[in-house]
Amino acid sequence: MSQWRDDTTERVRALRRAVHRPGPERDALLLLLKSAVATVAAWQFAVRVLDSPVPFYAPMAALLVVDRTMVRSISASAQRVAAVVLGLGVAWVVANLLGVTWWTMFGVILVALVIGRWSRLGDHGIQVPAMVLLSLITAKGTDEQFTYLTIVETVAGGVIGVATNAIVFAPLHLTKPRQRVAALARQVRDLLAQMADGLRGEWDGDTAREWYRAGTAMVERAPLVLDDIHTGRESTRFNLRQNLRPADIDWQGYERTVTTLRRALWQVTGIGRTLVDAADGAEHHPAPSATFLARYAEALAAMSVAVSQLGRHEEEATRKFDESVAEARIVLVDLREEVRRTPLADPDQWSVYGSLISDSLRALGELESARESAAVPTDTGPLRLPPTRSTAWARLQRLRAHRATTHHAEVEGETTRRG
């Protein structure tokens, strides 16, 4: 009972968030509303225009093709139409040539199942054997009117679903990917800062394990952030809102940022794992000296500052990034040389020092390699450009200029004739 109450409360909260501010909840609500609108519109089209006795296929197609982006909506429509046509086509050919018997049913269903697994049909591949079975059982596969009307209904439903998705609150997924890119950069920065602060003071195996777990969790979330970036970029294609008022977003830069942070995190988790083993007294992993760790913390702190400036291309941000990278590199190179020159009481410490320094230098190299190409969301300007910057506006201006020129030429021609 309490679980049901908690679920209900969370759904009410999600509905309130959808109503009051943009975000994933509002996107989901709009998608549901558009699906309902498209379904009803397709049903009415099938009843009033096609005069379908069983208006099922048009609303079903419309319902299934309304998706999060226009690209996916168009793709789903094409896949569904192809699946229906293939299914009905196979049933019609077999029924007319061989008739409907148990052995033809077995063969045609087997063929339809193979066709349905074709990757280009996506999730709609199951429609191929479904349409074969429906056609053979209900219309014996030879009813041309049933075949024709089903295909027409499916095409009409797909078109209505795509049109509804394009016209009614055309989906633009811009907020979520920007938020998640900024959040990932902030989390990596904070983790490095926490590790630096911890190594300057008291730390133990539990603390190191927390660092290791946090870094691992960020690595695992990075592909989800990349998926959000791909969805956001995809949502701008074939989108009327994007054409009228384009979004000024560096999608490739966002992707580069997430990829770079993920690769840097691989090295940071390696640092965490080394510290865990050292704190737990694992074999051949003695703890580094406090003096070494204090200096090493300076490098991690500088890397934290570099992460905070990664993807920002203002002059001040670039200067801070370069200074932080240089500071971290100097510290790590000095430590490497010091370890190389200094005799160690425990020879096993060589591997610990070497692992910590090597992982940090690799992480630093990843950050430095993305200096020019990375990008992060900023609040330095409007996200959406004014309509005058859009391609649609440019085409409209060219059309107006062409009409004005044509009109002027016609007036001059008429004046010449009269004279």
What CA–CA distance (Å, rounded) separates 84 from 382? 45
Task: 349-355: list long-range contacts, CB under 8 Å, 24+ apart.
Answer: 349/286, 349/288, 351/284, 351/285, 352/274, 352/278, 352/285, 352/286, 352/287, 352/288, 353/288, 353/292, 355/270, 355/271, 355/274
Domain end: 148, 167, 186, which one? 167
Do residues 103 and 146 share a domain? yes
Same domain, 159 and 136: yes
**Residue 249, both tokens:** 């977003």
Residues 404 and 344 in one domain: no
Long-range contacts of residues 381-388, Cβ cutoff 8 Å, at least 24 apart: 381/248, 382/248, 383/174, 383/178, 383/247, 383/248, 383/249, 384/245, 384/246, 384/247, 384/248, 385/245, 385/246, 385/247, 385/248, 386/245, 387/244, 387/245
* DSSP sequence for 337-371: HHHHHS--SSTTHHHHHHHHHHHHHHHHHHHHHTT
What pLDDT score does 244 carry?
60
pLDDT at 2: 61
Query: Does 49 map to a domain?
Result: yes
- Domain membership of residue 246 (yes or no) is yes
Q: Are residues 41 and 131 in the same domain?
A: yes
Q: Is residue 156 part of a domain?
A: yes
* Residue 247 bridge partners (DSSP): 384
How far is 299 from 49, CA to CA, in rounded Å? 72
Of 167, 195, 227, the residue that ends a domain is 167
Within this chain, do residues 150 and 233 fall inside the same structural domain, yes or no?
Answer: no
**pLDDT string in tens for the chain (419-residue length):** 566 665 666 666 666 665 656 666 777 788 888 899 999 999 999 999 999 888 888 998 898 888 878 888 888 888 888 888 888 888 888 888 878 787 888 888 888 888 888 888 888 888 888 888 877 777 666 677 888 888 899 899 999 999 998 888 777 778 889 999 999 999 999 999 999 999 998 888 899 999 999 999 999 999 999 999 998 888 888 777 665 666 678 899 999 999 999 999 999 999 999 999 888 876 656 778 888 899 999 999 999 999 999 999 999 999 999 999 999 999 999 999 988 877 766 666 677 888 899 999 999 999 999 999 999 987 644 454 445 454 544 554 565 555 556 655 555 555 555 55
Count the domains in the chain: 3
CB 247 within 8 A of CB 386: no
Q: What is the pLDDT of residue 385?
A: 47
Quote the domain boundaries for residue 400.
387-418
Residue 224 lies in a domain: yes
Considering the domain architecture, whether residues 291 and 161 belong to the same structural domain is answered as no
Same domain, 195 and 46: no
In a domain, 44, yes or no: yes
Q: Which of 265, 275, 272 is nearest to 218 (CA)?
A: 265
Quote the CA–CA distance of 70 and 76 in Å, as a whole number: 10
**pTM, entire model:** 0.74
